[in-house]
Amino acid sequence: MKRFAIAGIQMSVSAFEENITRMGHYVAHVKHRFPWVDMVLFSELAAYGPSPLKAETMPGEAEQRLCQIAAQHGIWLIPGSLFELRDGHVFNTSPVINPQGEVIARFSKLFPFLPYEKGITAGDQFVVFDVPDAGRIGISICYDMWFPETTRTLAAMGAEVILHPTMTDTIDREVELAIARASAVTNQVYFLDINGVGDGGTGRSIVVDPAGYVLHQAGNGPESSRWKSTSTRSGASVNAACAGWASRSRASATVAAISRCTSATAAWMPICTGWAR
């Protein structure tokens, strides 16, 4: 039985100071307390906040620091996104970093949110990537999910899980929660929509299963935690927050339960996923 665990970090993001140091602290805490976590996902523009004036080329200093965090802790890292300077244009780009600290893909947001992202160039490539012995994962960013063709295309490319970092600080967060559920159920995928707090959004991150059921929805303030123990169909005990990542082509999935761990400034949701190989 192969399990793959994803921790989504709903972190307080500053628009005026770098946040990479804090991101590293959260990754260290997650791996120390829950060493079975394989991947960590942050919210959109978590590293430096929403200022395109902080755009830099990739590879660059910020991306290299993030690669070092991934390699140090041996995890897959999707650090939300950063503003990328490329060919005289600014893109909103999410790097995919493997446990060796290597960037294996970069996804640039397809639909910048106008007028708030005026001057940001749209990407033109869909991105999916394979995690060995686990499955195929797709990425979209924030406003991308408002266009159903984006998630549909990722699913058609074989994605079974969609990672969706967002930075929503507007009044339409309630609508986005409905879109996240619809995106999951209509495409039969797990959908992890991770928002920031503070300057990085209004929180309320959500994780949805392929049936459209909410596995977890965070609040926008301090929360308490509760952990459960569950088991797989093979009878093994799992002391974690687990959600069955059921492939459309596989009948045997992990039994599911969900929990959370939060602090005064952040909430994060580990999702243990897997199926029988």
Q: Kindly list the averaged pLDDT for each block of 10 residues, start to end, along the chain of length 277.
A: 84 94 94 93 95 94 98 98 97 98 98 92 97 95 97 98 96 96 97 94 94 92 28 28 35 26 36 35
In the prediction, which pLDDT does 3 show?
Answer: 83
DSSP the chain: -EEEEEEEEE-EE-SSS--HHHHHHHHHHHHHH-TT--EEE--TTTTT-S-GGG-B-SSSHHHHHHHHHHHHHT-EEE---EEEEETTEEEEEEEEE-TTS-EEEEEE-SS--TTTTTTEEPP---EEEEETTTEEEEE--GGGGGSHHHHHHHHHTT-SEEEEE----STTHHHHHHHHHHHHHHHT-EEEEE--EETT-----EEE-TTS-EEEE--SS----B--EEE-TT--EEES-B-----TT-S-B------BEE-SS-EEEEEEEEE--
In the prediction, which pLDDT does 206 show?
Answer: 94
In the prediction, which pLDDT does 220 show?
Answer: 82
In the prediction, which pLDDT does 245 show?
Answer: 42
